[in-house]
Amino acid sequence: MKTFAAVDLGASSGRVMVGSVGPRSLDLTEVHRFANRPVRVGETLHWDILALYKGILDGLRAAGPVDGIGIDSWAVDYGLLDARGALIGNPVHYRDERTARGVAEVLAKVPHEELYSQTGIQFQPFNTVFQLAAERGTPASSMAKQALLIPDLIGYWLTGVAGTELTNASTTGLLDPRASVWSRTLAEAAGVDVNLFPPLRRPGDELGRLLPHVRDEVGFDSTVYNVGSHDTASAVAGVPARADAHAAYVCAGTWSLVGLELEAPIRSEASRKANFTNEVGVDGTIRYLRNVTGLWLLQECQRVWEASTELDTLLREAAEVPARRSVVDANDPRFMPPGDMPARIASACEDAGQPVPRTRAETVRCILDSLAEAHRRAIDDAARLSGRRVDEVHIVGGGANNELLCQLTADACRLPVVAGPVEATALGNILVQARSAGAFEGGLAEMRALLRATQSLRRYAPK
Ligand code: LFR
């Protein structure tokens, strides 16, 4: 039996989880959770990266000696380092509005058709390529000698070794997902310096050992492994589907990432127009998916309501509201920045000529009906664009705990839903480390068989 720590940074909290892995066993415990509160300073929304790092050190100390550590987080964001390896300013949050400038600059030089045909990455205003362009000409950018994606930055602070993990590198919009190399010509044409990123590393590669002062602080020594450091890559590795099941997945958290696992990217014009992305997955797979604005809609409502009503109560009441009274486009750009989400949902309903939700339960029902519908559309589109059949839908991540969302997704898709594990991301992170450390042998199929044998899953039949 070996033990591993998964550091998993999410949009609203970070966690350190410890997993014990044997050839036929897999147990997971959360040892530490800490808030992730973005901070607006002046015009700019930042990640409080040092608070996150402190939470990680506290979590590792609580974890105690482990055989490996792996780090994953949301994608696209990065920190810039100066010539001495020091961080220049707090990383900027992908929901910050500076990206609009970067989009205009890049698209003036390289049309999206070209970006897509090379990288297969969906258009999102926050893609790293646009963020780097938005930052051009600033003092920070002129001082920068290196850019590290968030999990790579944490890995660098823990080990002193700088690398760029491949699954997350693919989300920059600067990588060719088929050859797994940077699209240098494209980057040059877009006016961004891809040489800022240190060498690419694959999930499973060792990053390094803990630095002496980190060892002293956490109380043990350990290897840090590269994992699928893009949280969605780890989550998809943690989808317990059989290889022959014709499965689609929904990684349901702040975002719903909805799609299929493929062997090769699809970079057709139809796929571009449908805004499907080809992100690199664990073991060279392609995560062919669409970003659906996920439970962010509900999280922002709860923030505005100051959590004065418990989520369980809200969901119970929402289940009683008549189905599909108001369905809005979950991907409406007005939902992207933080803000008064109940008011935005109401105005989206009004604009769409739908009944405006009057109560909190009606707002929640509108959100979940709209997400279920967006899940269905993404799965239908993925099947059509890839020519694959889909017979079942796996929901993993926090959303797998939301019974109403799972049932409504099954109903909208007219397909059985298998829900769980809730902790797919941490499990995917740990399994990749465990394989590198020799705790078991095999590929994604063996990892998923271990998940099916050890994790509790729940089935929803369409009604
Ligand atoms: C999910 C996620 C998505 C990515 C978004 C922004 O946490 O990583 O995959 O598109 O956050 O980074």
Task: Give Cα 233 to chain centroid, integer Å.
Answer: 7
CA–CA distance, 56 with 62 (Å, rounded to integer) = 10
Tell me, using a 6 A CB cutoff, whether residue 254 lines ligand 1: yes
Distance 233 CA to ligand 1 centre (A): 10
Confidence at 302, pLDDT banded by 50, 70, 90: very high
Residue 255 has pLDDT above 80, yes or no: yes
Quick: pLDDT tens for 104-162: 999 999 999 999 999 999 999 999 999 999 999 999 999 999 999 999 999 999 999 99
CA of 257 to the centre of ligand 1 (A): 8
Q: Of 265, 156, 143, whose CA–CA distance to 207 is shortest?
A: 156
Which pLDDT does position 23 carry in this prediction?
Answer: 85
What's the gap in Å between 353 CA and the centre of ligand 1?
A: 31
The average pLDDT across 423-434 equals 98
pTM as predicted: 0.97
Give, for ligand 1, the residue of 76, 78, 129 to mutate: max count of ligand atoms closer than 8 Å to Cβ.
Answer: 76
Mean pLDDT, rounded, of the chain: 97
Ligand 1 close to Cβ of residue 255 (< 6 A) = yes
Q: Which residue's alpha carbon is nearest to atom 12 within ligand 1?
A: 75
Burial of 310 (0-12, 13-18, 19+ CB in 10 A): exposed
Report yes or no for ipTM above 0.90. yes
Confidence of residue 276 (pLDDT cuts 50, 70, 90): very high
Tokens of 291: 């970003």
pLDDT digits (tens, 9 = 90+) for 381-424: 999 999 999 999 999 999 999 999 999 999 999 999 999 999 99
Domains along the chain with CATH numbers: 2-231 (3.30.420.40), 241-420 (3.30.420.40)
Q: What gap in Å lies between CA 65 and CA 69, rounded to an integer?
A: 10
Residue 361: Cβ within 10 Å count: 19
Among 171, 236, 249, which residue has the most ligand 1 atoms within 8 Å of its CB, making it the best to mutate?
171
Q: How far is the CA of 213 from the centre of ligand 1 (A)?
A: 31
Does residue 349 have a pLDDT over 90?
yes
Helix, strand or coil, per DSSP, at residue 254:
coil
**Residue 44: strand pairing partners:** 41
pLDDT by residue (tens digit) across 163-183? 999 999 999 999 999 999 999
Tell whether the model's pLDDT for residue 237 goes beyond 80: yes
